[in-house]
A and B are shown apart, each in its own frame.
Chain A
Amino acid sequence: MTEKLWIEGRTLDLKEDSRIPDGPIEEKWTRYKNTVPLVSPANKRRFTIIVVGSGLAGASASASLAQLGYNVLLFTYHDSPRRAHSIAAQGGINAAKNYQNDGDSVWRLFYDTMKGGDFRAREANVYRLAEISPQIIDYSVAIGVPFAREYGGLLANRSFGGVLVQRTFYARGQTGQQLLLGAISQVLRWWNEGRIKIFPRHEILDVVLIDGHAKGIIARDLITGELKRYAGHAVVLATGGYGNAYFLSTNAVNSNATAIWRAYKRGAYFGNPCFVQVHPTALPETHEYQSKRTLMSESLRNDGRVWVPRKKGDTRHPNEIPHEERWYFLEEWYPAYGNLVPRDVASRAIKKVCDMGYGLPPTGRAVYLDLLDAIKEQGRERIEAKYGNLFEMYEKITGESPWEVPMKIYPAVHYTMGGLWVSYELQTSIPGLYAIGEANFSDHGANRLGASALMQGLADGYYILPYTIGAYLANRLGEKLPDTESEEFKKTEQEVKERIEKLLSINGNTPPDEFHMKLGHILWDKVGLSRSKESLLQALQEIRELKQEFWKDVKVVGDANTINQELEKAGRIADFIELGELITIDALHREESCGAHFREEYQTEEGEPLRRDDEFAYVAAWEYNGEGNPPILNKEPLKFEAIKPTVRSYK
């Protein structure tokens, strides 16, 4: 490929664009809160805010905004807001409470998160996140989240990958579910009070801009197929990550990037799309029609030991292989953290031993996660209390009991650190358009630590956005709700309609799912755990071909005026294909290895990632540049004032 893949853009200003407050890091958020313009209670009632997505971020934001007095319109494609995929988070939520007296602090949580993210996150955001974390626990407990407790009646903690303290709060293996149901309970409360309107089974297909500001959305009613226009004074996207671009991931089957991708195409910058986290402990793939990868919580690595037989292709039953013939490669390579190294490190290590030929038969793409030693040491009862439901789930899926045989695992795409670029105020580059939770790029740098996603989603929703959105709305007192009969709304709706009609009219031969599987294979093989210039260029070409094929040969049966799941899928997959291209370009341009982004050309002699701070200590904020044109690369420099980036070592 000789054409230009991207165009160099501008350097973002940390004050003007990123809106990072002045002062020492410990005081930034306080200073911000003290000086942010406020909207009076009477005026809040006159503002309408559209929230898209009802996961942890969307639900908590809706509840918190409604509590302040705003009118909230909450949209979800599910039949109920209770079903968002935050519900599947298993392990826990971090908070700098130091209940265990093991030396934890806000500073340590901040530092661990920065280091875990391989120093590719914005310092000020991360510190704020750590600072807010304890309040999330206080609030969640107050609204009835049944966290695990000690016999004395106080809260219990456990540890997670990448840290040396116990700061993770949990509710068995269903922490996400309990936190989400807690946040949703508050949504229902405000719904009952009339402050929130819920629109279930509504999928957002575009964002409406008026004079450059986000003022509404076009949604498709998934039951009647009707396109509807909704206006708001501001729009909040809380639509989660885009891991499903890889087809097989631990995301829910309907998780999609359409809303953020539409926003990108309307001018919102996309931050670090190539930072895609691959989770080390998911169940291996067993057959070609598998629809998803199921996660086994990282918490299992607290007591579980990862190993492969020292002899390649050893077909003995794992329980017959003596300890000395087992290779506990994580413990050997990373003695300090052992099995609890961060996710990117563990995933790469697993891939490495499998690539070396040590993977378990028959596929060669699996390693053991063994809790049998822990069961022997601690007794069945204690293990059962910690992981009972995970063991049950494993047995249901595989038909094998982890009480008797070590579990088999292999890495799977799990979380996307990248997302819409947002300022310190969580506002995208489109005024009035906010992105929160996994949908934004902000806090996890190039790799997210375990139990931090729940923390970030709730911090954004409960505590940050309700303040920062005031800064935007305070300048718009008296502004009327935009008219949905305006030209801008009509035009955007027309564009959405045309796209749907186009999808239905192609009438080719291939079901949308097959395109999705193909895209997934390209991305996983060439833009996955490790990438090289060569693999990326090849991926780019294949994705472009796939895109052409899609628009020629996709077969969408049924029509647009009823429930049509094929049509829903086709639209999402078309967006994933385009996003896949951007992921690849971003991976191609970032000529260093950091966190989840491992470029084979940039590694140390020991095979560890080689970060290049002198050239790449910035956030890539990609800007859409029209159909068929290379995207524009804007850069937000990462300034480290509080800490110094070091070589990340977990040895």
Chain B
Amino acid sequence: MSEKKNLRLTLKVWRQDGPQDQGRFETYELDNVNPDWSFLEMLDILNMKLVRDGKEPIAFESDCREGICGTCGFVVNGRAHGHLHKTTVCQLHMRHFKDGETIVIEPFRATAFPVLKDLIIDRTAMDFILKRGGYISVNVGSPPDANTIPVPKHNADKAFDFATCIGCGACVAACPNASAALFTSAKITHLALLPHGHPEREKRVAEMLTAMEEQGFGGCSNTYACEVECPKGISITGIAKANLEYWRAKLKGH
């Protein structure tokens, strides 16, 4: 690993002081980028340099740095989370970049995601969707034994594939319509595939899709750009499934 050559990179980073600020690109030169650094570690190092020079560091968010919490995310060279398939930007390593490359970094953009500072955006709108039905209304207490209702392995596995969504917002960022259809449908589909989720399925889909609209996300026009950028590989078949759930609910009068 250590015999790889260090990189020289030019970074063009979006800087914006606050929601009202116009924002602009600033250019930074970095020598000696170790290919084993992660993308965020590279920004950490750049930030330490900026701090030492008395400049404001680039504000960006991250937490687990294992690709599971969904906190990090911005657009690298025009791709949400960068070009690597099924990878969050915290798991993107510098070995995937070329020496001398110029890297353009922008925040996720959408009407529903206002920029707070530099690369930090407000994604609360996503929680406002989940709030409207992304759950099963069962009380803590004495639900039946876990093995009372068998769930076919196939369904449980598929439910997991949708439940694995980390809610990072890349799907919204990558969508020409800034739609949250992939995110919303992932939750609807996860719960629709399990028998435990059935009692509330009609209400859930109707409410959550309405909430998505209210939060200012666009509609899905089936371009499937989201699926390509999703770091967890959530499939757009979930959107079809959620649509079906919706028509089903409509037929039942919801």
* A and B touching (Cβ–Cβ under 8 A): yes
- Measured CB to CB, the residues of A under 8 A from B are 60, 63-64, 67, 78-85, 87-88, 97, 99, 134-135, 137-155, 171-172, 174, 177-178, 181, 185-186, 188-189, 191-192, 198, 200, 223, 252-254, 286-287, 289-292, 294-295, 362, 392-393, 396-399, 462-463, 466, 509, 511, 513-514, 555, 557-558, 562-563, 565-566
B115-166 with Cβ < 8 A to chain A: 116-117, 120, 122-124, 126-127, 130-132, 134-147, 150-153, 156-157, 159-160, 163-164, 166
Closest CB of chain A to B95's CB: distance in Å? Answer: 6
- Flag whether B2 is at the interface (Cβ < 8 A): yes
Query: Which residues on B sit within 8 Å (CB–CB) of A392?
Result: 86
Q: Is the CB of B167 within 8 A of A144?
A: no
Closest CB of chain A to B24's CB: distance in Å? Answer: 17
Q: Is the CB of B132 within 8 A of A192?
A: yes
Q: Is the CB of B93 within 8 A of A397?
A: yes
**With A83-B71, A139-B143, A155-B146 known to touch, is A511 a contact of B52 (CB < 8 Å)?**
yes
In angstroms, Cα B142 to Cα A142, docked, is 10
- Flag whether B30 is at the interface (Cβ < 8 A): no
4 closest Cβ contacts across the A-B interface?
A153-B150, A185-B135, A142-B143, A146-B160
Q: Is the CB of A565 within 8 A of B59?
A: yes
Closest CB of chain A to B229's CB: distance in Å? Answer: 16
Q: Is the CB of B146 within 8 A of A294?
A: no
Query: Which residues on A sit within 8 Å (CB–CB) of B51?
Result: 511, 555, 557, 566
Query: Which residues on B sit within 8 Å (CB–CB) of A557?
Result: 50-51, 54-57
In angstroms, Cα B148 to Cα A153, docked, is 10
Query: Which residues on B sit within 8 Å (CB–CB) of A254?
Result: 63
- In this complex, the interface size class of chain B, counting residues with CB under 8 Å from chain A, is 35 or more
**With A142-B196, A144-B190, A513-B44 known to touch, is A83 a contact of B63 (CB < 8 Å)?**
yes
Closest chain A residue to B4 by CB distance? A399
Query: Which residues on A sit within 8 Å (CB–CB) of B136?
Result: 142-144, 185
- Flag whether B184 is at the interface (Cβ < 8 A): no
Query: Which residues on B sit within 8 Å (CB–CB) of A463?
Result: 140
Which of A87, A97, A462, A563 contacts B146, CB < 8 Å? A97
Q: Is the CB of A462 within 8 A of B140?
A: yes
Q: Is the CB of B131 within 8 A of A291?
A: no
Q: Is the CB of A80 within 8 A of B146?
A: no
Query: Which residues on B sit within 8 Å (CB–CB) of A294?
Result: 65-66
- Flag whether B67 is at the interface (Cβ < 8 A): yes
**With A289-B44, A393-B66, A396-B93 known to touch, is A189 a contact of B196 (CB < 8 Å)?**
no
Which of B38, B116, B163 contacts A146, CB < 8 Å? B163
In angstroms, Cα B70 to Cα A81, docked, is 11
Closest chain B residue to A510 by CB distance? B52
Closest CB of chain A to B163's CB: distance in Å? Answer: 5
Query: Which residues on B sit within 8 Å (CB–CB) of A152?
Result: 150
Query: Which residues on A sit within 8 Å (CB–CB) of B130?
Result: 185, 188
Which of A84, A142, A155, A555 contacts B138, CB < 8 Å? A142
Closest CB of chain A to B15's CB: distance in Å? Answer: 13
In angstroms, Cα B55 to Cα A399, docked, is 34
- Flag whether B251 is at the interface (Cβ < 8 A): no
Query: Which residues on A sit within 8 Å (CB–CB) of B63?
Result: 78, 83, 85, 252-254
Query: Which residues on A sit within 8 Å (CB–CB) of B159?
Result: 144, 146
Closest chain A residue to B160 by CB distance? A146
In angstroms, Cα B163 to Cα A562, docked, is 35
**With A138-B144, A289-B41, A291-B44 known to touch, is A565 a contact of B57 (CB < 8 Å)?**
yes
> What are 29 inter-chain pairs, A to B, with CB distance below 8 A?
A64-B140, A80-B126, A81-B127, A82-B70, A83-B64, A83-B71, A84-B69, A138-B146, A139-B143, A144-B196, A146-B163, A149-B150, A153-B152, A185-B135, A189-B137, A252-B69, A253-B63, A253-B64, A254-B63, A362-B2, A397-B91, A466-B140, A511-B47, A511-B48, A511-B52, A557-B51, A558-B56, A563-B117, A565-B57
Query: Which residues on A sit within 8 Å (CB–CB) of B152?
Result: 149, 153
- Flag whether B197 is at the interface (Cβ < 8 A): yes
- Flag whether B102 is at the interface (Cβ < 8 A): no
Q: Is the CB of A192 within 8 A of B64?
A: no
Query: Which residues on A sit within 8 Å (CB–CB) of B160?
Result: 146, 171-172, 178
Which of B87, B127, B151 contacts A396, CB < 8 Å? B87
In angstroms, Cα B189 to Cα A316, docked, is 49
Query: Which residues on B sit within 8 Å (CB–CB) of A87?
Result: 64, 68-69, 166
- Flag whether B61 is at the interface (Cβ < 8 A): yes
Q: Is the CB of B194 within 8 A of A146?
A: yes
In angstroms, Cα B120 to Cα A295, docked, is 27
Q: Is the CB of A292 within 8 A of B65?
A: yes
Q: Is the CB of B146 within 8 A of A185?
A: no
In angstroms, Cα B71 to Cα A362, docked, is 33
Closest chain B residue to A385 by CB distance? B157
In angstroms, Cα B101 to Cα A358, docked, is 40
Closest chain A residue to B3 by CB distance? A362
**With A78-B71, A463-B140 known to touch, is A151 a contact of B146 (CB < 8 Å)?**
no
Closest CB of chain B to A94's CB: distance in Å? Answer: 14
In angstroms, Cα B61 to Cα A254, docked, is 10
Q: Is the CB of A146 within 8 A of B190?
A: yes
Query: Which residues on B sit within 8 Å (CB–CB) of A191?
Result: 131
Which of B84, B87, B142, B191 contacts A144, CB < 8 Å? B191
In angstroms, Cα B112 to Cα A270, docked, is 43
Closest chain A residue to B1 by CB distance? A286
Q: Is the CB of A513 within 8 A of B123?
A: no
Per-residue CB contact flags for chain B residues 26-55 toward chain A (1 = under 8 Å, else 0) read 000000001011101100110110111011
**With A253-B65, A557-B57 known to touch, is A514 a contact of B48 (CB < 8 Å)?**
yes
Query: Which residues on B sit within 8 Å (CB–CB) of A186?
Result: 135, 140
* Extra inter-chain contacts (6) besides given A192-B132, A198-B127, A511-B52, CB under 8 Å: A80-B127, A85-B64, A138-B146, A141-B196, A290-B41, A396-B87
